Amino acid sequence: MTDLDQPYDLGADAIARFRRDGFIKLRNVLSPATLARYGREITRLTLSLNTEQRPLVERSTYDRAFLQVMNLWEKSPLVGRFVMGQRLGRLAADLLEVDGVRLYHDQSLYKEPGGGLTPAHADQYYWPLDSDRTITAWIPLQPVPPEMGPLGFYAGSQAVAFGRDLGISDESEARITDNMARHGLAFDCSAFDLGEVSFHLGWTFHKAGPNLSDRPRSVMTIIYMDATTCLLPVLNAVQANDRDQWCPGAQVGEVIDTRKNPLVWCRG
Ligand SMILES: O=C(O)CCC(=O)C(=O)O
Protein backbone atom coordinates (compact mmCIF):
# COMPACT_ATOMS: atom_id res chain seq x y z
CA MET A 1 0.00 0.00 0.00
CA THR A 2 1.15 3.54 -0.65
CA ASP A 3 0.15 6.67 1.20
CA LEU A 4 -2.74 6.85 -1.28
CA ASP A 5 -4.44 4.01 0.56
CA GLN A 6 -3.15 3.81 4.12
CA PRO A 7 -5.43 5.20 6.85
CA TYR A 8 -4.47 8.68 8.09
CA ASP A 9 -4.46 9.34 11.81
CA LEU A 10 -7.02 12.12 12.18
CA GLY A 11 -6.29 12.74 15.86
CA ALA A 12 -8.73 13.10 18.70
CA ASP A 13 -10.65 16.29 18.03
CA ALA A 14 -10.53 16.63 14.23
CA ILE A 15 -14.04 15.31 13.55
CA ALA A 16 -15.53 17.62 16.20
CA ARG A 17 -13.64 20.60 14.73
CA PHE A 18 -14.87 19.74 11.24
CA ARG A 19 -18.44 19.44 12.55
CA ARG A 20 -18.10 22.90 14.14
CA ASP A 21 -16.16 24.75 11.40
CA GLY A 22 -17.33 23.01 8.21
CA PHE A 23 -13.72 22.72 7.02
CA ILE A 24 -10.37 21.35 8.13
CA LYS A 25 -6.78 21.54 6.91
CA LEU A 26 -4.66 18.41 7.44
CA ARG A 27 -0.87 18.21 7.07
CA ASN A 28 1.18 15.41 5.49
CA VAL A 29 -1.80 13.71 3.89
CA LEU A 30 0.12 12.86 0.70
CA SER A 31 3.89 12.49 0.26
CA PRO A 32 5.95 14.68 -2.10
CA ALA A 33 6.64 11.57 -4.23
CA THR A 34 2.92 10.76 -4.62
CA LEU A 35 2.07 14.38 -5.42
CA ALA A 36 4.86 14.55 -8.00
CA ARG A 37 3.87 11.28 -9.70
CA TYR A 38 0.13 11.91 -9.99
CA GLY A 39 0.46 15.70 -10.17
CA ARG A 40 2.51 15.51 -13.38
CA GLU A 41 -0.29 13.57 -15.08
CA ILE A 42 -3.05 15.81 -13.66
CA THR A 43 -1.30 18.97 -14.86
CA ARG A 44 -0.47 17.45 -18.25
CA LEU A 45 -4.12 16.49 -18.82
CA THR A 46 -5.38 19.83 -17.53
CA LEU A 47 -3.28 21.74 -20.03
CA SER A 48 -4.03 19.41 -22.93
CA LEU A 49 -7.81 19.23 -22.35
CA ASN A 50 -8.30 22.89 -21.43
CA THR A 51 -10.32 24.78 -24.06
CA GLU A 52 -9.80 28.34 -22.69
CA GLN A 53 -7.58 30.26 -25.13
CA ARG A 54 -8.48 33.89 -24.39
CA PRO A 55 -5.96 36.14 -22.62
CA LEU A 56 -6.85 36.78 -18.96
CA VAL A 57 -7.92 40.41 -19.62
CA GLU A 58 -10.66 39.30 -22.02
CA ARG A 59 -12.29 36.84 -19.58
CA SER A 60 -15.05 37.12 -16.96
CA THR A 61 -14.19 37.05 -13.26
CA TYR A 62 -15.13 33.34 -13.17
CA ASP A 63 -12.98 32.47 -16.17
CA ARG A 64 -9.99 34.43 -14.83
CA ALA A 65 -10.08 32.43 -11.57
CA PHE A 66 -8.79 29.14 -13.00
CA LEU A 67 -8.64 26.72 -15.87
CA GLN A 68 -11.11 24.00 -14.93
CA VAL A 69 -11.07 20.46 -16.29
CA MET A 70 -13.45 17.89 -14.86
CA ASN A 71 -13.58 14.13 -14.33
CA LEU A 72 -9.94 13.46 -15.14
CA TRP A 73 -10.42 10.04 -13.48
CA GLU A 74 -12.25 8.97 -16.64
CA LYS A 75 -9.45 10.18 -18.93
CA SER A 76 -6.44 8.47 -17.37
CA PRO A 77 -6.04 5.22 -15.40
CA LEU A 78 -3.29 6.88 -13.38
CA VAL A 79 -5.57 9.71 -12.29
CA GLY A 80 -8.32 7.13 -11.72
CA ARG A 81 -6.03 5.42 -9.24
CA PHE A 82 -5.46 8.76 -7.47
CA VAL A 83 -9.16 9.67 -7.29
CA MET A 84 -10.08 6.23 -5.95
CA GLY A 85 -7.40 6.50 -3.25
CA GLN A 86 -8.59 4.99 0.04
CA ARG A 87 -6.86 7.47 2.35
CA LEU A 88 -8.76 10.49 1.01
CA GLY A 89 -12.01 8.51 0.66
CA ARG A 90 -11.86 7.30 4.23
CA LEU A 91 -11.05 10.81 5.48
CA ALA A 92 -14.10 12.11 3.60
CA ALA A 93 -16.37 9.48 5.20
CA ASP A 94 -14.92 9.98 8.69
CA LEU A 95 -15.27 13.77 8.52
CA LEU A 96 -18.83 13.50 7.19
CA GLU A 97 -19.57 10.86 9.87
CA VAL A 98 -21.11 8.49 7.31
CA ASP A 99 -20.54 4.81 6.48
CA GLY A 100 -19.38 5.31 2.92
CA VAL A 101 -18.77 7.85 0.18
CA ARG A 102 -19.24 7.90 -3.59
CA LEU A 103 -17.59 10.12 -6.13
CA TYR A 104 -19.68 13.07 -7.30
CA HIS A 105 -16.93 14.30 -9.62
CA ASP A 106 -13.33 15.47 -9.68
CA GLN A 107 -11.93 18.66 -11.10
CA SER A 108 -8.55 20.22 -11.65
CA LEU A 109 -8.40 23.94 -10.78
CA TYR A 110 -5.34 25.56 -12.30
CA LYS A 111 -4.88 29.20 -11.35
CA GLU A 112 -2.53 30.64 -13.93
CA PRO A 113 0.19 33.16 -13.02
CA GLY A 114 -1.76 36.43 -12.89
CA GLY A 115 -5.05 34.52 -12.51
CA GLY A 116 -7.79 36.37 -10.61
CA LEU A 117 -9.55 35.75 -7.31
CA THR A 118 -12.06 32.95 -6.85
CA PRO A 119 -15.25 34.73 -5.67
CA ALA A 120 -16.93 33.67 -2.42
CA HIS A 121 -19.49 30.90 -2.85
CA ALA A 122 -20.85 27.59 -1.52
CA ASP A 123 -20.49 24.62 -3.88
CA GLN A 124 -23.81 23.00 -3.14
CA TYR A 125 -25.63 25.77 -5.04
CA TYR A 126 -24.57 23.76 -8.12
CA TRP A 127 -25.57 20.32 -6.88
CA PRO A 128 -29.04 18.65 -7.06
CA LEU A 129 -28.30 16.48 -4.03
CA ASP A 130 -30.68 15.73 -1.13
CA SER A 131 -27.97 15.59 1.56
CA ASP A 132 -25.64 18.09 3.19
CA ARG A 133 -23.14 15.20 3.64
CA THR A 134 -21.01 16.39 0.71
CA ILE A 135 -17.35 17.27 0.92
CA THR A 136 -14.53 18.51 -1.30
CA ALA A 137 -10.90 17.49 -0.85
CA TRP A 138 -8.73 20.38 -2.13
CA ILE A 139 -5.32 18.93 -2.94
CA PRO A 140 -2.57 21.37 -3.95
CA LEU A 141 0.09 19.81 -6.18
CA GLN A 142 2.72 22.27 -4.89
CA PRO A 143 2.91 24.45 -1.79
CA VAL A 144 0.47 27.40 -1.90
CA PRO A 145 1.89 30.51 -0.19
CA PRO A 146 -0.42 33.50 0.36
CA GLU A 147 0.51 35.17 -2.94
CA MET A 148 -0.60 32.13 -4.98
CA GLY A 149 -4.24 32.10 -3.79
CA PRO A 150 -4.70 29.44 -1.11
CA LEU A 151 -8.33 28.42 -0.58
CA GLY A 152 -9.81 30.29 2.41
CA PHE A 153 -12.81 29.25 4.54
CA TYR A 154 -15.35 31.02 6.75
CA ALA A 155 -15.49 28.93 9.93
CA GLY A 156 -19.00 27.86 10.82
CA SER A 157 -20.53 29.30 7.63
CA GLN A 158 -22.18 25.99 6.71
CA ALA A 159 -24.97 27.09 9.06
CA VAL A 160 -25.59 30.39 7.20
CA ALA A 161 -28.46 30.30 4.69
CA PHE A 162 -27.86 33.70 3.04
CA GLY A 163 -25.98 33.40 -0.28
CA ARG A 164 -26.81 29.78 -1.02
CA ASP A 165 -28.62 30.90 -4.16
CA LEU A 166 -25.61 32.74 -5.61
CA GLY A 167 -23.32 31.21 -8.23
CA ILE A 168 -19.65 32.22 -8.51
CA SER A 169 -19.66 35.85 -9.68
CA ASP A 170 -18.78 39.43 -8.75
CA GLU A 171 -22.17 39.55 -7.03
CA SER A 172 -21.47 36.45 -4.90
CA GLU A 173 -18.08 37.87 -3.92
CA ALA A 174 -19.55 41.21 -2.81
CA ARG A 175 -22.70 39.98 -1.07
CA ILE A 176 -21.32 36.86 0.62
CA THR A 177 -18.14 38.60 1.79
CA ASP A 178 -20.26 41.39 3.26
CA ASN A 179 -22.61 38.93 4.95
CA MET A 180 -19.74 36.88 6.41
CA ALA A 181 -18.32 40.09 7.91
CA ARG A 182 -21.74 40.88 9.43
CA HIS A 183 -21.77 37.44 11.06
CA GLY A 184 -18.23 38.04 12.31
CA LEU A 185 -17.10 34.61 11.11
CA ALA A 186 -13.35 33.94 11.24
CA PHE A 187 -11.74 33.60 7.79
CA ASP A 188 -8.82 31.14 7.48
CA CYS A 189 -6.81 31.86 4.33
CA SER A 190 -3.50 30.49 5.58
CA ALA A 191 -0.88 29.00 3.26
CA PHE A 192 -0.78 25.29 2.34
CA ASP A 193 2.44 23.30 2.78
CA LEU A 194 3.28 20.55 0.33
CA GLY A 195 1.20 17.50 1.32
CA GLU A 196 -1.44 19.55 3.13
CA VAL A 197 -5.05 18.92 2.03
CA SER A 198 -8.24 20.73 3.05
CA PHE A 199 -11.76 19.34 3.25
CA HIS A 200 -14.88 21.52 3.20
CA LEU A 201 -18.61 20.87 3.27
CA GLY A 202 -20.82 21.64 0.28
CA TRP A 203 -22.46 24.49 2.20
CA THR A 204 -19.31 26.06 3.68
CA PHE A 205 -18.58 29.46 2.14
CA HIS A 206 -15.07 29.83 0.76
CA LYS A 207 -13.00 31.86 -1.69
CA ALA A 208 -9.39 32.27 -2.87
CA GLY A 209 -7.17 35.24 -3.66
CA PRO A 210 -5.49 35.89 -7.02
CA ASN A 211 -2.26 34.22 -8.09
CA LEU A 212 0.20 37.10 -7.86
CA SER A 213 3.21 34.85 -8.45
CA ASP A 214 4.87 33.87 -11.72
CA ARG A 215 4.08 30.15 -11.11
CA PRO A 216 0.83 28.27 -11.71
CA ARG A 217 -1.22 27.14 -8.70
CA SER A 218 -2.16 23.61 -9.70
CA VAL A 219 -4.81 21.93 -7.53
CA MET A 220 -6.75 18.68 -7.85
CA THR A 221 -10.12 18.42 -6.14
CA ILE A 222 -12.28 15.39 -5.41
CA ILE A 223 -15.93 15.84 -4.48
CA TYR A 224 -17.48 13.02 -2.47
CA MET A 225 -21.05 12.50 -1.28
CA ASP A 226 -22.57 10.21 1.32
CA ALA A 227 -23.09 6.87 -0.45
CA THR A 228 -26.85 7.06 0.23
CA THR A 229 -27.35 10.50 -1.36
CA CYS A 230 -30.43 10.77 -3.63
CA LEU A 231 -31.08 13.03 -6.60
CA LEU A 232 -33.26 16.13 -6.07
CA PRO A 233 -35.37 17.84 -8.75
CA VAL A 234 -33.11 20.52 -10.23
CA LEU A 235 -33.63 24.14 -9.17
CA ASN A 236 -31.88 25.85 -12.07
CA ALA A 237 -30.00 25.34 -15.35
CA VAL A 238 -26.60 24.86 -13.70
CA GLN A 239 -28.00 22.01 -11.58
CA ALA A 240 -29.51 20.43 -14.70
CA ASN A 241 -26.08 20.61 -16.31
CA ASP A 242 -24.48 19.01 -13.24
CA ARG A 243 -27.05 16.20 -13.18
CA ASP A 244 -26.53 15.43 -16.86
CA GLN A 245 -22.73 15.53 -16.62
CA TRP A 246 -22.01 13.89 -13.25
CA CYS A 247 -24.87 11.46 -12.71
CA PRO A 248 -26.54 10.79 -16.07
CA GLY A 249 -29.51 8.47 -15.72
CA ALA A 250 -29.97 9.02 -11.97
CA GLN A 251 -33.64 9.27 -10.97
CA VAL A 252 -35.15 11.88 -8.66
CA GLY A 253 -35.66 10.41 -5.17
CA GLU A 254 -33.32 7.46 -5.80
CA VAL A 255 -29.77 6.81 -4.63
CA ILE A 256 -27.25 8.15 -7.13
CA ASP A 257 -25.23 5.10 -8.13
CA THR A 258 -24.54 5.56 -11.83
CA ARG A 259 -21.31 4.33 -13.45
CA LYS A 260 -19.92 7.83 -12.86
CA ASN A 261 -20.48 7.60 -9.10
CA PRO A 262 -18.43 4.66 -7.86
CA LEU A 263 -18.30 3.86 -4.18
CA VAL A 264 -14.85 5.12 -3.18
CA TRP A 265 -14.75 3.92 0.41
CA CYS A 266 -17.12 2.18 2.80
CA ARG A 267 -16.87 0.94 6.37
CA GLY A 268 -16.43 -2.74 7.16
O1 LIG B 1 -9.35 26.54 -6.21
C2 LIG B 1 -10.07 27.52 -6.13
O3 LIG B 1 -9.64 28.67 -6.34
C4 LIG B 1 -11.51 27.37 -5.76
C5 LIG B 1 -11.83 26.01 -5.26
C6 LIG B 1 -13.25 25.79 -4.87
O7 LIG B 1 -14.04 26.68 -4.85
C8 LIG B 1 -13.65 24.44 -4.50
O9 LIG B 1 -12.86 23.50 -4.65
O10 LIG B 1 -14.79 24.28 -4.03
Question: What is the 3-class SS of 54-119, one letter each residue?
Answer: CCHHHCCHHHHHCEEEECHHHCCHHHHHHHCCHHHHHHHHHHHCCCEEEEEEEEEEEECCCCCCEE
Predicted pLDDT at 2: 79
Ligand 1 nearest-atom number relative to CA 109: 1
Q: Is residue 4 part of a domain?
A: no
- Dist CA 161 CA 178 (whole Å): 14
Predicted pLDDT at 268: 84
What would you measure as the largest C-alpha separation in the chain, in angstroms? 51
Q: Does any ligand 1 atom lie closer than 6 A to the CB of residue 136?
A: yes
pLDDT digits (tens, 9 = 90+) for 205-235: 999 999 999 999 999 999 999 999 999 999 9
10-residue mean pLDDT series, the chain (268 residues): 90 95 98 97 97 96 97 98 98 98 98 98 98 98 98 98 97 98 97 98 98 98 98 96 97 98 96
Contact 45, 75 (CB under 8 A): yes
Predicted pLDDT at 12: 85
Q: Is residue 19 part of a domain?
A: yes
Q: Is residue 104 part of a domain?
A: yes
CATH number for 59: 2.60.120.620
Predicted pLDDT at 261: 98
Task: Report the number of distinct structural domains present in the chain.
Answer: 1
Q: Is residue 7 part of a domain?
A: no
User: Ligand 1: distance of its center to the CA of 268 in Å?
Assistant: 32
Range of the domain at 203: 14-266
Q: Does any ligand 1 atom lie closer than 6 A to the CB of residue 151?
A: yes
Whole-model pTM: value is 0.98
Q: Is residue 109 part of a domain?
A: yes
Q: Does any ligand 1 atom lie closer than 6 A to the CB of residue 66?
A: yes
Predicted pLDDT at 11: 86
Please choose from 23, 138, 142 the residue to mutate so as to test ligand 1's pocket, defined by most ligand atoms within 8 A of CB: 138
Predicted pLDDT at 222: 99
